[in-house]
Structure 1
């Protein structure tokens, strides 16, 4: 029998109180921000943000709770943006939307950092069960960065993967890990690089015994990308059913899928709040269209990061995911 798990890809919207407070604090410490450091007041504010984001998910009774990524001002580039051997340069558009991040320029070896693991350690103090880790996938993190050290794109990708594997190995006990890979959709690799990308994914997923979900979004993978991603070893693959349900279904019909899947069934960029019945219909429709008679685990989630939403709509969508997965889905 299929198990339905309510969760999110993380990067939750900052509480309204925190936006003004952080803006005031950061405006008074520009040099610290350039150096990637935080003073005590900023760290304390982010700690309060983490508590708020966790409480919101717990209030919604989600099956998996993320740390919230409130500190990730640079979105998925964050793990590099805070690294000692990475310089942050000018503001760059974050994919094809109205969000921006500081360009991380790698100038030295990507040694172990532990920043994300530290955030999860603090989150674990408030989450008794169901903690979920979130990381950028190796292909997306390499795509968002500029290499001025390794000198070869495949060597750089391998170094990014090793870096992420080290970060993941330092995680506290978590139930699942989402590897967010929008660049697989937005900037697909050439076919001849497929084996290299698969190896990079394997490097990261081999660092943990927990279930890893590879989660591309903002569309469907091109066929050659999809086939190479399936060559990697991970527990579940994600499908953005909001942005492009037809081509995601086509890939599964042509090439198959893992027994466990993560389905983007609520829109993380649209303030229109879905009805729980609509979400259950989307889950059922997916299963009707795909060849597997039954899936092991279906992670029902937002189709993209959640920071694009107002806090009120974000909370409502969490409640929808929870309610939709607690009632029977009839395919």
Structure 2
């Protein structure tokens, strides 16, 4: 029987009260804030937001609980923008949509910082005994793609260093059931040559090897190119994530049917950047459709998730989408029993 798990890739919208409080404290809106240098009042505001984001997931009935990443003002770039050897440049746009972040300019060695681990430690204290923590990180290829290297001087060496950095971060994490590595750049700006393909797969494997939890490599805003996917299959991860909302379904199906898949799969079934709220029935139909298209693959677990982060959604719509995922997973589980 397939295990259906309702979850998300994190990066939630700030609760309205927290957004206003932080705006008053910092004098700017969330997208204009710099993380990593918070005083006690700002730290308390983020702590309160973390509690609310976890409570929202608990209320919705999700199977995996993320920390919510309220402090990640620079989205996927956050683990670098708070690093002591990284300078944050101006606001830039990335992935050709409404995603903005400060350009992390790496000017020294990327040693492990423990920043994300501290967030997860705080989240763990809020979880009940029957709740499972899910860690979230940018994948090494995407994080390197979003950054500017002013220190290592070689693309391959820099990607290798980012992989070591993230592996060191993961080693400091508290116990967690799942780790989502968010890799949109592997979809939108894939490696141009076999050597980089091999290295991208190897550094993903290295980060995955730093945790005892299940590892999901989540791509979105398209589909993995054939060559990229074939190389990724060499990485010792538990699942790949496919964007069934804004991706290329035919390419996803070709990859799986041609090169196989891991024993688990993550499906982006709910639009993380559109206010239209999908019904649980629609989510179930998308799960069934995908499984029908790959009859030779019997997945042990299917993660039901939003296709992207929900940061840009109104809080109310974000919460409704969490409920849709949770209800779809419950209904699907009842059908498969």
The aligned residue for residue 318 of structure 2 is 314
Listed one character per residue, the Cα deviations across residues 157-207 of structure 1 (whole Å, up to 9, x for unaligned) are 010000000110111011101000000111111132111111111110111
Aligned residue for 1:147? 149
Equivalent residues of 2:86, 2:107 under 8 A apart:
yes
Deviation, 1:102, is 0.5
Can you list the C-alpha shifts for 1:76-103, whole angstroms capped at 9, x where unaligned? Answer: 0000000000000111103211221110
CA distance in 1, matches of 2:161, 2:262: 27
Q: How does 1:1-331 map to 2 (within 5 A)?
A: 1-27=1-27, 36-128=36-128, 129-192=131-194, 193-244=196-247, 245-328=249-332
SS in 2 for 1:162: helix
Larger deviation: 235-244 or 287-296? 287-296
Q: Using the TM superposition, name which of 275-284 and 240-249 deviates more.
A: 240-249
SS of 2:233 mapped into structure 1: helix
For 2:312 and 2:228, how far apart are their aligned partners in 1?
Answer: 27
Q: C-alpha separation between the residues in 2 aligned to 1:259 and 1:14?
A: 34
User: 1:22 deviation in Å?
Assistant: 1.0
Deviation, 1:36, is 3.8
Gaps of 5+ in 1: none
Deviations 1:45-92 (A, max 9, x none): 000010000000000110000000000000000000000000001111
8 Å Cα contact 1:191-1:224 kept in structure 2: no
Q: Deviations over 1:208-263 (max 9, x none)?
A: 11111110111101111111111111011110011122221121122111110000
Which moves more between the two structures, 236-245 or 132-141? 236-245
TM-score (normalised: structure 1): 0.96
CA contact (8 A) 2:35 2:73 kept: no
Stretch deviating more after TM superposition (278-287 or 237-246): 237-246
Change in CA separation of 1:45 and 1:289 when aligned onto 2, cut-off 3 Å = same
Alignment partners' CA distance in 1, 2:106 and 2:34: 15
Q: Conserved in 1, the CA contact under 8 Å of 2:4 and 2:332?
A: no
When structure 1 is superposed on structure 2, of 12-21 and 172-181 the one drifting more is: 12-21
CA contact (8 A) 1:191 1:225 kept: no
Distance 2:26 2:104 in 1: 19
Alpha-carbon offset, residue 34 of structure 1: 5.9
Shift of 1:127: 1.1
How far, CA to CA, are the matches of 1:34 and 1:256 in structure 2? 42
Contact 1:135 1:179 in 2 (8 A): yes
Gaps of 5+ in 2: none
Contact 1:199 1:232 in 2 (8 A): yes
Structure 1: how far apart are the matches of 2:332 and 2:208?
Answer: 31
Tell me: CA distance 1:134–1:157, structure 2 relative to 1, closer, same or farther (3 Å): same
Provide the secondary structure at the position in 2 that maps to 1:265: strand
Q: Which SS does the other structure have where 1:317 is aligned?
A: helix
- 2 CA distance for matches of 1:35 and 1:23? 13
**SS of equivalent to 1:111:** coil
Give the match's secondary structure for 1:231. coil
Q: CA RMSD in A?
A: 1.4
Q: In 2, are the aligned partners of 1:253 and 1:291 still within 8 Å (CA)? A: no
| CA–CA separation in structure 2 for the residues paired with 1:16 and 1:149 | 39
Residues 293, 99 of structure 1: alpha-carbon distance in 2 compared, 3 angstrom cutoff: closer
